[in-house]
Structure 1
């Protein structure tokens, strides 16, 4: 309409606003579709894991660093800590990124300006413990049992501050289990939540070296995985 009327320039601000809205919702749709398709693949036994021996500490730290600017823009402080600088284990770096970004996204959703998010990596010899902790609003005890169920949302109200279809944590749990690990949540309502992932410390003999998960840029991955809260 603007093209036909020759009024593109005078409506530039409006056009930019709507294009950004389209882009943002495209990210959300992309995330939703990816999550549903991958959940279906896991249930059917067709989900491919590309395991290689990586320094899990470096992998997690890189993911955390990729969201620092975003968390700061939300008035939040994200802190990375580890008790060991190197721990080589078999993992799928692309799917580890999905796990951590999803947990960080969840922490951001339930945090208020001025809160902190802590991402810790601990070497427990037989397994690596990765935790994402926040001091936000927390989750009521009655909801803890259902947060890993597909299509379940703690906040179903029309006034909730973030988007989401309740697929993310269900997929995260499945991907953690495909790594041979476990995940659990702890929370005290009004004081914050903590999600803990435990992944075995084993290595693989045959690494999928030729595989590269960098189909999208790292920045693009962050925008898609945090699309429920990105603005």
Structure 2
């Protein structure tokens, strides 16, 4: 048993020895590795030391360079400080120069402003002189014009006075003619009464009475025309407007004078392109217009000739025309036929009576209606008078009672009084 234990111990000791060898071997290997590592570290340290030497040399070089740069920087700073001082001096000088320049510019601007003001003042004075000169020229022209106008007015006044004088002469003649007839007839009546021959002179007396009535109508027409023209000029002449059928109004006027035209050997013809046309008008004044135009046509128309009264319907105006184929009117006289103070040469009217007031009144009444009248004529071939009346109507009629209303027959006798034989 002791041997077995020894062997076991020997085996254990051998194993222990082997283990130790193995451990030694491992420790040797580790030692080799550690030595290698130590050698490597020693080499690395040598390299680091070499690099450190180089780095120190580089650092020493850089330090020397920094010292040089620092010295150069000191020099540069001194140079910069010197330049800054120079710049400050230059800046101070520049400020002074700028102030001087600014002062000079301000002075120049003041001088320029003063020069502008002086130029404006001079320009203003020149303009004022030109205005005064222009005003003086205008004043001289105005004075010249006024003198010319005064001359014209004086000449027109002379002509107007002459024309009005002629008009008054014509009016006086027109008044005297019927008055003389009436006065002469009154003297005859007086003589017949005194010698007791009234019964014997009965036929003549009837004729004289008709003559008195006729000349009274002539006087009435003349006075009415003059008074109405004066009213129109004074603004006191009023129209009594009503909505009336103008066709019927004119047709009845034409029919009322047919007996007279027949007695004169004339034919009066009425025509219309519309049967009814209601317009606002003063029928009494329309009657005076148409009768006056027909009266003129009768005066200037030869026996056997025709007078045409036409009505034409227009959109805004109705046209009433009276046309004859009588002796006509020369073109140079057409401008004056509506002038109350002018009269066409009596030689053209075959010595018929009239002052020219009638057509002037016709024109005035037509224009009061808002219309117009024109005359067309060819000497030796006849005349045509055309009246245009607005086709408008009124909402409120203004028919007024007229205390001087006469019968229609008497109106015709008055308006046609200067053409009765």
The one of the two structures with greater contact order (alpha-carbon pairs below 8 A, sep at least 6) is 1
Give distance in 1, aligned partners of 2:348 and 2:223: 22
Q: Answer with 150-159 or 43-52: which moved more.
A: 150-159
In the TM superposition, what is the alpha-carbon distance from 1:157 to its structure 2 partner? 4.6
Q: For structure 1, which segment, 134-143 or 15-24, has the greater mean C-alpha deviation from structure 2 after superposition?
A: 15-24
Q: CA deviation at 1:149?
A: 0.4
1:54–1:89 Cα contact (<8 Å) kept: yes
In the alignment, the residues of structure 2 paired with residue 155 and residue 219 of structure 1 have an alpha-carbon distance, to the nearest angstrom, of 31
Structure with the largest fraction of helix: 2
Distance in 2 (alpha carbons) for counterparts of 1:212 and 1:80 = 29
1:114 matched residue in structure 2: 304
Task: Check whether the contact 1:50–1:211 (CA below 8 A) recurs between aligned residues.
Answer: no
TM-score relative to the length of structure 1: 0.95
Change (3 A) 1:214 1:44: closer
In the alignment of these two chains, the number of paired residues is: 231
Distance 1:16 1:152 in 2: 37
Q: Do structure 1's residue 220 and structure 2's residue 406 form an aligned pair?
A: no
CA RMSD of aligned residues (A): 1.7
Deviation at 1:13, TM superposition (A): 2.7
SS at 1:143's partner residue?
helix
CA–CA distance in structure 1, aligned partners of residues 326 and 237 of structure 2 = 34
Q: Is the 8 A contact 1:163 1:228 kept in 2?
A: yes
CA distance in 1 between counterparts of 2:366 and 2:231 reads 15
Flag as ranges the 4+ runs of structure 1 deviating above 6 A: none
Does 2:392 align with 1:202? yes
Q: CA deviation at 1:17?
A: 2.8
Question: Greater Rg, structure 1 or structure 2?
Answer: 2
User: SS state of the match for residue 233, structure 2?
Assistant: helix
Please list, as runs of the form range in 1=range in 2, the aligned pairs for 1:166-205 lying within 5 A after superposition: 166-205=356-395
2:419 match: secondary structure: coil
Deviation at residue 194 of structure 1 after TM alignment? 0.2
Give the alignment partner of residue 47 of structure 1, picking from 237, 258, 273: 237
Q: Counterparts in 2 of 1:151-170, with a 5 A limit?
A: 151-157=341-347, 160-170=350-360
TM-score (norm 2): 0.53
Q: Is the 8 A contact 1:94 1:213 kept in 2?
A: no
Decide whether aligned partners of structure 1 residues 152 and 213 sit closer, same or farther in structure 2, where only a CA change above 3 A counts.
farther
Q: 2:321 aligned with 1:131, yes or no?
A: yes
Aligned residue for 2:406, secondary structure, equals: coil
Residues 1:102 and 2:285 are matched in the alignment = no
Instruction: Specify whether residues 159 and 210 from structure 1 end up closer, same or farther in structure 2 by C-alpha distance, changes over 3 A only.
Output: closer
* Bigger strand fraction: 1
> How far apart are 1:212 and its partner, in Å?
5.9
- 3-state secondary structure, aligned to 2:201: helix
Deviation at 1:150, TM superposition (A): 0.4
Moved more, 48-57 or 146-155: 146-155
Quick check: 1:51–1:90 contact (8 Å CA) kept in 2?
yes
Deviation for aligned residue 1:213: 8.7
Report which stretch shifted further, 57-66 or 211-220. 211-220
Q: Which runs of 5+ in 2 are unaligned?
A: 1-190
Query: Any idea what SS the aligned residue of 1:153 has?
Result: coil
Give the SS at the match of 1:183.
Answer: strand
Distance in 2 (CA, whole Å) between partners of 1:213 and 1:137 is: 40
Distance 1:161 1:64 in 2: 25
